[in-house]
């Protein structure tokens, strides 16, 4: 099968979607599919992908979009057209960049089926941000684009339930994200992270470590976790809060100012990737994310795969799926509930270790890449079968002129 993917950026700042697209393309190419990935920012993609090689995806780096709204002109549209013609199916990622609609319009003109991964962008919390612009976009072009898709890809059932008000439910398919398990089967151990943390901890060395690993954004709720640390200190349960992530400079400065009274018990590491990130999961005692909204939550899967119990909020879309791990505690998004949950885990070291073991076992079993890849193969095969069934109908309408 020849599969074409498009995502505007593979930068780590994009978060889970970029990582998920990289892992999916890698797995599909390893199974002898011809996979091409179009993007304007190669970001985290392996350098080797820029050379055509067997069992590796091919990445095509486009020039920056010419117009606002991530709209392309000129040579990029020619690349779109040639790429669509040489592939069987198109899979685009994201909702609000007009380039997705341009590319799908070209696919429609060539009678090629396309799928859209919305990546949580139609969830109620996401739709409450920048509401007017999103509603206008949907009414002008978005709903027509969604309804003309061959399939809408959702990662969890709650995402389908929330998003199907914007597209026919029959188009939706729930397929969990594919996770490359190679790094999790051979973890680096906590030593690398311990060395980095111990030089930063000062008098707080030896205290339990609570990990917050995410982009720094108001949605993620680090302020709630800082307040939980204050509550724990008042109970003589002082902890270190390890913050791994980056974000808008002004907001990061605001967070550091808010954490000043906690002194060296809050450690800002900045963006953390690769082996150091995996080692950091192993070097901490609990992972906590007081998020306002999370769709699939790849970071939870990472933490579980590294043997770290998780505390997060009831606002996580994948709550039903994650509960099966037995290693995720869900609470309301308040400092008191996070402090209580952290304290319970820290006071029961044997229970915490057993919880972590179960969580890692569940993650490695539930996200077997071979099974996940088969699900996506079936997803694409279904799209192609539908397109074949339409072959005797009148010519395909052009969704959006290129």
Query: Could you read off the pLDDT of 273-302 as tens digits, one per residue?
Result: 899 999 999 999 999 999 998 888 899 999
Most confident stretch, 58-72, 120-134, 269-283: 269-283
**CA 10 – CA 30 distance, rounded (Å):** 20
Residue 151 forms part of a structural domain: yes
Q: Are residues 30 and 103 in the same domain?
A: yes
Q: Are residues 354 and 282 in the same domain?
A: yes
Residue 384 forms part of a structural domain: yes
What are the pLDDT digits (tens) for 307-364? 999 999 999 989 999 999 999 999 999 999 999 999 999 999 999 999 999 999 999 9
Q: Are residues 160 and 12 in the same domain?
A: yes
- Minimum mean pLDDT among 98-112, 201-215, 334-348: which range? 201-215
More confident residue, 387 or 340: 340
The confidence band for 48, taking pLDDT boundaries of 50, 70 and 90, is confident
Q: Are residues 197 and 303 in the same domain?
A: yes
Q: Are residues 86 and 96 in the same domain?
A: yes
Residue 397 forms part of a structural domain: no
Q: Residue 172: which CATH number?
A: 3.40.50.2000
Q: Are residues 174 and 214 in the same domain?
A: no
The confidence band for 374, taking pLDDT boundaries of 50, 70 and 90, is very high
Residue 394 forms part of a structural domain: no
Q: Are residues 303 and 328 in the same domain?
A: yes
| pLDDT attached to residue 240 | 96
Contact 273, 302 (CB under 8 A): no
Residue 398 forms part of a structural domain: no
Residue 399 forms part of a structural domain: no
Q: Are residues 119 and 52 in the same domain?
A: yes
**How many domains does the chain fold into?**
2
Q: Are residues 379 and 347 in the same domain?
A: no
**CA 284 – CA 298 distance, rounded (Å):** 18
Q: Are residues 94 and 215 in the same domain?
A: no
The confidence band for 401, taking pLDDT boundaries of 50, 70 and 90, is very low
| pLDDT attached to residue 394 | 56
For residue 310, the enclosing domain spans 185-366
Beta strands in 220-373 (DSSP E): 240-244, 266-270, 286-289, 310-313, 328-331
Residue 237 forms part of a structural domain: yes
Closest CA to 208 of 297, 286, 293: 286
Q: Are residues 23 and 88 in the same domain?
A: yes
């Amino acid at each position: 099968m020849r599969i074409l993917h498009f995502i505007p950026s593979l930068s780590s700042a994009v978060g889970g979607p970029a990582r998920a697209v990289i892992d999916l393309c890698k797995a599909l190419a390893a199974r002898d599919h011809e996979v091409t990935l179009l993007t304007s920012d190669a970001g985290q993609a392996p350098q080797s992908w820029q050379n055509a090689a067997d069992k590796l995806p091919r990445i095509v780096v486009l020039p920056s979009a010419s117009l606002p709204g991530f709209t392309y002109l000129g040579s990029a549209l020619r690349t779109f057209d040639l790429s669509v013609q040489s592939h069987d199916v198109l899979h685009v990622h994201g909702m609000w960049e007009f380039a997705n609609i341009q590319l799908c319009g070209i696919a429609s003109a060539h009678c090629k089926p396309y799928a859209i991964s919305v990546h949580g962008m139609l969830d109620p919390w996401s739709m409450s941000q920048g509401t007017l612009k999103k509603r206008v976009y949907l009414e002008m072009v978005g709903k027509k684009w969604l309804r003309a898709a061959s399939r809408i890809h959702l990662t969890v059932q709650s995402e389908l339930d929330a998003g199907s008000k914007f597209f026919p439910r029959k188009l939706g398919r729930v397929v969990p994200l594919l996770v490359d398990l190679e790094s999790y089967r051979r973890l680096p151990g906590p030593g690398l992270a311990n060395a980095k943390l111990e030089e930063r901890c000062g008098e707080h060395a030896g205290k339990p470590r609570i990990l917050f690993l995410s982009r720094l954004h108001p949605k993620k709720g680090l302020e709630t976790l800082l307040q939980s640390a204050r509550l724990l200190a008042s109970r003589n349960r002082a902890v270190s809060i390890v913050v791994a992530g980056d974000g808008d400079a002004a907001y990061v400065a605001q967070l550091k100012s808010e954490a000043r009274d906690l002194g060296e018990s809050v450690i800002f590491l900045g963006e953390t990737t690769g082996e150091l990130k995996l080692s950091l999961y192993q070097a901490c005692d609990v992972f906590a994310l007081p998020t306002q909204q999370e769709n699939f939550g790849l970071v939870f899967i990472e933490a579980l795969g590294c043997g770290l119990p998780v505390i997060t909020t009831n606002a996580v879309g994948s709550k039903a799926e994650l509960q099966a791990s037995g290693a995720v505690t869900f609470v309301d998004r308040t400092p008191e509930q996070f402090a209580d949950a952290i304290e319970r885990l820290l006071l029961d070291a044997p229970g915490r270790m057993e919880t972590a073991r179960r969580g890692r076992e569940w993650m490695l079993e539930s996200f077997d890449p071979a099974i996940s890849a088969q699900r996506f193969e079936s997803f694409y095969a279904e799209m192609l079968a539908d397109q074949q069934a339409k072959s005797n109908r009148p010519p395909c309408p052009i969704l959006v002129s290129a």
